[in-house]
Structure 1
Amino acid sequence: MGIDGLLFILSVIGEGGLLFLVVFFVITLSDLECDYLNATTCCSRLNKFVFPEILVQSVLASLLLITGHWILFLMYAPCTAWIVYLFVTKPSGNIGFYDPAEIHNRHQLKAYMRDNMIKMGVHLIFFFIFLYWMIYSLLKDDTTMFGVPAEKAKLTDDPYEL
């Protein structure tokens, strides 16, 4: 297994985690929308996972850049840059990225729900892209035939010949 196989295995695991996290965000925000949760509980649950989401996505983008997968990096970087931009430009008076005092003002709840649905779609697409490239890179690196390197394996049409 080469560096590409390891990269895409880590990418599939990371994207699976991010996909799970975004589904958690959507469920928690919809619980707030239906008044199953209060704003303080909802925002405290969500704020715990904002920085890990940014960290995982930044690490995946930097790994794509370091390993030379330029096209995948250029496709993946805008989503990462967008999330970092949203985190950096949050108002300084807010408690966290999701502020319980502001979440019901100016339709922020709808905007957060829309943003997370877009992120869910992006992470779902990249999960399958990384899954495809993981399978491709693992099959491409498989140069053995029954434990014998392919160059030394004697390939004949007769299945009974050794």
Structure 2
Amino acid sequence: MILNEVLLFLLALIDVGAILFVLVYFIITLSDLECDYLNANECCEKLNYWLLPKYIAHTFITFFLLLHGQLLLFLVNLPLFIWLTYELFTIPQGNLGVYDPAEIHNRGQLRKHLRDVMIYIGYYLIFFFIYLYCFILALLKGDPLQRHADDQIVTEI
């Protein structure tokens, strides 16, 4: 174990919380594009900027779950890691990124991107609460109060 369980799940909570904030930013930016408050170039430039940090954040937590031996959580995070890797490294040649200004209005790409971001938000919200639960369990494992009997609690160190 590299990290204490409490620290691992605290980092996971902070990481997933940061990803959720980025995804809310994605939703706001894509809706601004849909309402014509932003042009396609500005929108895609803003969204493509945050793709790599989102990928790194998810890779970070997936890697630490594997190193810490949390195999079930690692295996559940692995499909999204594989999908994000596929999405990031299979950008068609000539596109500026996953979000391309020339194609975002074609063939329902805007709706597809909105749907994908909503799926990501649902996924990360579920995992935020799973990591919160694991964090609370890790905190409760180490009992700070030494209990000698059921009715007696010793608070001296």
Q: Same fold (TM over 0.5)?
A: yes
Distance (Å, rounded) in 2 between the aligned partners of 1:138 and 1:156? 21
Distance (Å, rounded) in 2 between the aligned partners of 1:130 and 1:158? 33
In structure 2, relative to structure 1, the CA distance for the partners of 1:158 and 1:96 (3 Å cut) is: closer
Identity of aligned residues (%): 47
Partner SS, residue 144 of structure 1: coil
Give me the CA root mean square deviation: 1.8
* Long gaps (5+) in structure 1: none
Query: Match of 2:7?
Result: 6
* Long gaps (5+) in structure 2: none
Q: What does 1:44-123 align with in structure 2 at a 5 Å threshold?
A: 44-123=45-124
Task: Give the total of aligned pairs.
Answer: 152
Shift of residue 154, structure 1, vs aligned partner: 4.7
Partner SS, residue 57 of structure 1: helix
Shift of residue 144, structure 1, vs aligned partner: 2.5
In structure 2, relative to structure 1, the CA distance for the partners of 1:16 and 1:158 (3 Å cut) is: closer
Mark the structure with the bigger radius of gyration: 1
Distance (Å, rounded) in 2 between the aligned partners of 1:33 and 1:125? 27
Distance (Å, rounded) in 2 between the aligned partners of 1:66 and 1:10? 14
TM-score (norm 2): 0.90
CA offset digits 1:41-77 (Å, max 9, x no partner): 1111111100000000001001111101010111111
TM-score (norm 1): 0.88
Distance (Å, rounded) in 2 between the aligned partners of 1:158 and 1:68? 36
Give the number of the structure with larger relative contact order, counting CA–CA contacts within 8 Å between residues 6 or more apart.
1
CA offset digits 1:96-148 (Å, max 9, x no partner): 2211111111111111111000000000000000000001101112x322xxx
Establish whether residue 144 from structure 1 lines up as the match of residue 144 from structure 2: yes
> Which 4+ runs in 1 deviate beyond 6 A?
none
